[in-house]
Amino acid sequence: MSTKNSNLKSTSITIYRFILCVVGWSFIFVRFLLIITGGGNVIESFSNSVSYYTFQSNLMVVLWLTLALFYKNRDSRPKFLASPVRGAITLYITITLIVFATVIAPYYHPTGLALYTNYVSHYFLPIAFIIDWLFTEMEFEYEWKYIIYWLIYPLFYSIYTLIRGYFTGFYPYPFFDLNSISILRLIINIIILVILNLLLGFIYIYVNRKGYKKKNL
């Protein structure tokens, strides 16, 4: 690739990520604005809001994009920007997209600003970040063992959600809600989520390894 084309590609990626950052931070701002203006206990609402997997996975995406822009062209970069971490974040935001679209969307119909945060966090940012990964994450070859490492956060999140729900009575998702489902149903749901994580992890690693080999022939 010529220097001119390389510079053009780099500039295009930077602009693309900057746009995603603006949209992503606007989602977080509006989300908190809705909490403050929504009435009720602000601290409790804030605690519940940040307990959603959707919020946490989108925050990871926004932080990664922000740091990627800040450390662009710098030799020293934080470990958070490392390829294995980026792969994990891509996996997590894909889970957000798939689970919402298939399980929650048919029963959730927000309006007003909540409609904006819903669209951005469940569709726009996940799809845009996956596209970014597909076009720019073939410089580093993933290892198959990452599949296991990438399970750490989802399992930790499940444990955290169940413990917090036990003490507060609040479960962010119906498939974790022990107020309305049995222990057996909960175990089945967690197994399904683990399988989904493993399957998507396999797909991402396979695509990366194929792309890496093709790029380095």
| Phi–psi pair at 61, nearest 5 degrees | -60, -50
Output the DSSP codes for 32-86.
HHHHHHS-S-HHHHHHHHTTSHHHHHHHHHHHHHHHHHHTTT-S---GGGSHHHH
* Furthest CA-CA distance within the chain: 60
> pLDDT tens-digit profile of 86-100?
999 999 999 999 999
Closest CA to 155 of 201, 108, 206, 107: 201
The model carries a pTM of: 0.94
Distances, alpha carbon 103 to alpha carbons 5, 51, 91, 113, 208, in Å: 43, 18, 18, 22, 28
Residues 69 and 77: their CA atoms lie apart, in Å, by 11
Distances, alpha carbon 119 to alpha carbons 92, 105, 126, in Å: 17, 11, 10
- At residue 4, the pLDDT reads 66
- At residue 74, the pLDDT reads 85
Q: Is the pLDDT of residue 1 over 60?
A: no
Closest CA to 126 of 152, 153, 89: 89
Specify whether the CB–CB gap between 55 and 49 falls below 8 A: yes
pLDDT tier, 76 (very low <50, low <70, confident <90, very high otherwise): confident
User: What are the extents of the domains in the chain?
Assistant: 3-215
